[in-house]
Structure formats: structure tokens, C-alpha cells
Structure 1
Amino acid sequence: MNTRYKIYHPYISPFDPCPPMQVKSFSTPPHLYLGFQPSNLEQFSPQEALRAGTLWKVFYDPYYSPYEKPTGGI
């Protein structure tokens, strides 16, 4: 199953001076799951593309910190 957020359990040393984080997460970009770019992909308008950072909607990835709630799109 491909998800955009992955989690892992880092090594916790018995000598850590602070209470460690048990689980950490990271985001993966959507282009990793496509393999190749199909033709006729849906596109943003030029103004939306500048805000999104990509022309194609399938490659848009609004990054959200694991500590914040996702809000609307562009």
C-alpha cells in the first residue's frame, strides 16, 4: 500500500539525556508512485501552477506537518 506519509521507529539509546520520540514520520512526493508521466494529465491554470509549484495536478503535494491539520487545496 502506497501512502504519502511513512513512519519509522528510530534507535533509542539507553544513554539518551532526554525522553526520545518513539515514532517519527516523513512525507514522500507523489511522483515516486507514478513510474512514468502519462499523456493528457489534468493541468493547473498558469496562476494556480505558480502557487502550486507544478503544472500537473497529479504531482501537486501540499506538505503538512504531522502536527498541523490539512486545510483546503490551492
Structure 2
Amino acid sequence: MLKEKHNPFKDQYRVWYPYHSPDDPCPPIVRQYVVPPNQYLGFQPPNLPQYSKQEALMKGTLWPIFFSPYPPKKRGKKHES
């Protein structure tokens, strides 16, 4: 069985867990953030695969390696005033 090579472009979403002391009464606030794929690429390599024109317009980029979707918006309860 072949081990799959780690691809940093697939792992765009990161989670940060702060230190939580045993004496701290409050639970830690876990944060999630996005690291854009262009942070891992110095120069654009030649002959990258490309989306079709229509798909590139929908995704906002011509190259799949640079595609980074926005995370879904959190829907909370609306406050009534």
C-alpha cells in the first residue's frame, strides 16, 4: 500500500487550540482560519492544469491549485430589538 504524499494545497483550513490551564474555569476559544494556497507557491510552475473557461469564471481562478472556496457563513439567531 502506497502512502499518500502530504499536499499542503488541500489542507487550507487550520485550527488553533490555545493553551488551557487545569485551573482555568473557562473553556478555551478554538479558532479556525484559512491559509490561502498561494502562500505555499513561490513561482507558478509551467504547464499547470487549467479549468475550462466557464468553470474558471465560476471559481474565480484559471488554475485549480489556486482555488480556495470561502467557508460557509455561520447562521445564527437574529437579535430582535
What TM bracket, shorter-length normalisation?
0.5 to 0.7
The 1-side partners of 2:59 and 2:72 are apart by 17
Please identify the structure whose Cα radius of gyration is greater.
Answer: 2
**Alignment TM-score, normalising by the size of structure 2:** 0.57
Give the number of aligned pairs: 61
Give the gaps of 5 or more residues in structure 2.
1-5, 20-25, 75-81
Structure 1 segments, 4+ long, off by >6 Å, are none
**Aligned residues: percent identity?**
47
Q: Which moved more, 1:26-35 or 1:58-67?
A: 58-67
**For 1:7-46, what aligned pairs fall within 5 Å after superposition?**
7-9=15-17, 22-46=29-53
Give the gaps of 5 or more residues in structure 1.
12-18, 68-74
**Alignment TM-score, normalising by the size of structure 1:** 0.62
Q: Which moved more, 1:56-65 or 1:37-46?
A: 56-65
